[in-house]
Amino acid sequence: MKKIVKVEGKVISSAEEMLKFLLEGYVFETELNIYYKLTDGILKIIDGTGEEIGNSDAKFNQVYINIYNSVYEIEEEKWYDNIPEQGILCWASNENDIPNRNDSMVRIFGIVDGMFSISSGAYLYKYAIPVTKEEVLKHIYDPN
C-alpha cells in the first residue's frame, strides 16, 4: 500500500516552482484536501494513497492559488507501519541485516527506540522481516 507523506524542507514560492516539483514527481495538496500529481503531462487528481481518481480540468495557476506551500511525495508503506494488535510473525536478528530461517522466528508487536519488540519492549531485535506463508509451511514440515 502507498501513502502520501510531507517532504520536509521543500516549499513552493511560485507557480513555476510548483510545475518544477510536479515534473520531478512530487504531489501537492490544496486547501480543499485534494491531491494533484503530473502524469504524462496531465494534471491528475489522486487520493491519499496515490491512486489516480481522474484528470483535473484546472490550470496550473488555478491549482497554485489554492495549494498549501508544502510538497508531498508518494511512498510505499513499510510492513511495520501498521503492525496489528496480534503482531506479525518475523525472522529476527541482531547481527544479520536480512534475517532468514537461520535466525529467530518471533512475533513482532511494535517498535521501541528504533528496534523491533516481541512484547512491550521486553526483548528487542535490530533487524526483522516478515515470514512468508511458504516459509511457515517449510518451517513446520521441514524444520531443518
- Give the containing element (helix H, strand E) for 121: none
Nearest to 50 by CA among 113, 92, 91, 5: 5
The C-alpha atoms of residue 69 and residue 10 are separated, in whole angstroms, by 8
pLDDT of the residue at 126: 92
Nearest to 136 by CA among 93, 88, 96: 88
Both 14 and 46 in one domain: the answer is yes
16 in a structural domain? yes
Both 95 and 71 in one domain: the answer is no
Both 64 and 105 in one domain: the answer is no
What is the total count of domains within the chain? 2
pLDDT of the residue at 24: 83
Give pLDDT tens digits for 96-136: 888 988 888 899 998 888 889 887 667 899 999 999 988 88
97 in a structural domain? yes
Give pLDDT tens digits for 44-82: 888 777 778 777 766 555 555 455 556 766 677 788 888
Give pLDDT tens digits for 128-143: 999 998 888 887 787 6
Give pLDDT tens digits for 24-48: 888 877 766 778 788 887 888 887 7
Domain that holds residue 98: 88-141
Both 59 and 16 in one domain: the answer is yes
Q: In the numeric block, which cell numbers belong to residue 92?
A: 529476527
pLDDT of the residue at 91: 92
Q: In the numeric block, which cell numbers belong to residue 40?
A: 504524462
The C-alpha atoms of residue 92 and residue 13 are separated, in whole angstroms, by 46
Please compute the mean of the pLDDT values over residues 16-20 and round it to a whole number. 77
In angstroms, the Cα distances linking 107 to 30, 95, 113 are 41, 18, 18
Both 93 and 69 in one domain: the answer is no
